[in-house]
Chains A and B, each alone.
Chain A
């Protein structure tokens, strides 16, 4: 997927004017926050679960190498293979090689953001292997040549009409605008693919070290058909998803669905431990786990380590007023919203992704709802520090900032400046209490009036009052 993060502002402007997108984003805002709140309210222990999840993730990260070694050993005992991939390219080549060994023509896929991250579909197509997305949302996007705009509701930017048209065009069936019919159509179409596939690729929500299992969470059941029917199952996941035990996985699962869709529990939570056992009548003969690093190990021990606690629930974007205004595609790469604004600079570089951590009011709503208490605003601010250190922020901003800091560290001069600025603004206001155009502040006055100061500065007035009080 092309990186469009440097065009964030432009994309956002277009998104704000896109009536269809705005309508679709209305569905998100009307749905997720209320559902999460209701689900959370039913679990009095929820805050305690969050604390424990936070602490447990930190414990895992402090022992990450040990838990990964354990996980690997158990997978191998279970008859599977683990492949370690530092980069996206490593991961793509590894997966391609497995597919070639199987002489694969068709690959079905469960929903996986890591495979988006490594740009797997395009790569497989270039190598004459046909990837078929099986999650309903992802399937719709694939038909349209589109990409997910949300990590768990990939087609959230589309409306019924878009789906109906895409199906009509690709399935060559009469056009329907009944969501139930459309879903039945996708079910029928994909049944054939599930059976025809040579390889099934899924992601993993968690990797359990104790048992060498991978876990997928879905509501549709597509992931299960993807991994059960073909001869080979490839799990593509990332290294920070390892958890120690089944009990620990349960802690995270109690948080995941509630934070994500507001469900008590997702419909299908499936553990896979190795390949088909002797005498089993179904299940994959080959089981591979492709573990992707892609910059994550570089975050260990840094100020960004907290981000590795993320369990990809999407609560941060579901509640973000910026995401809710511009949608996921504006962010210009795989991971949108607050979690994306922290991850994207790590993965594609702050030079390209600098606008993302800046596009936040630091309202803190994301941190408020994060099940593992990631201080997302703080991490975005750390990226702004990096940007500032590397002199990447725009010159006008830097100059403005250093001029202001010069004054702010000289109280006497500052008072002189603020009293004159107050006077100038009052003159511009001409007694109307506001100005409608202000030089150097077009960003403000293009959209709103600027209330003007109501009199001399407080410091001036306070001074005068003190002097009067002292006079006999």
Chain B
């Protein structure tokens, strides 16, 4: 018995010395795991886990440890509390995740003070990256999709007039503002702008859309959070027969998240969105990503743009760990390692702008089609290469500071 104990201790000692120069990097993952937005958290969480599982060997002998906490509702408060404690109590080296803009905004002063890098995998309010030099964003700004959609809608889709409809919270206003700026610059005319109620509950969309239908614009640009709202929009649009009436449904890719697309049915066909990712995007990395995803989570589970951003986030983190050989104690160095980082990921070529720490990526105009295998999918209509966050480029409003 005693011998066993000694042997055990010896083995442990050996293990400790054997990995003495390897670092264990702790990453705090903050995502909404419960509540009305739990599905957003799940989409990103699955991508994080998958990346770590498949690429752990890339950073050997160093290891990573994900410590997950519930981001809670989009209030900022709970996210701030759990993330602060991840720093003070769990001593994480960096933070990743963040579904909601308020969480990132609330946390910005904390990561600045603690000098902990914060990798954002979703939150899309444009000016977030200005709030702290430790914030790096791998997802998008509302302007990434909205602004190029303006010109595309006027030139290519043939929208001379458009109505805006948006969920009444900052990302919605951001997105429609971005579209309006691009659309009016191209020569288009906005006929109406309709707020669609709060982001918390999915409203009955019919009366709003009925009103827009009566105004007969060429296109209706809709922004909604990509959770349950998305399905509601397509349903109401389909029920009202708006496409037959000549009103095209356009918007950012949040309208047709891949994991809900199959449920939307025929009503979704013909919808044109601007976005950085779709399951059907053709590139080698995306094909491999999808194969691994289906292998891990089953054939009915689909990654979506959040999963792709989360995947790239973890990729950037791993590359930074590799570059620094596991020495990630200095947060500023980690952020520096990520500046100018680029890769070919599921979304195609992406790069972190060294000045703004925001992502630079290709934007695709995509139309929903019925694929030969009977499933819904998308067809790429056109691609704009290397799109930056136009809000910061043009220094509009809060993006200026």
Do A and B share a complex?
no
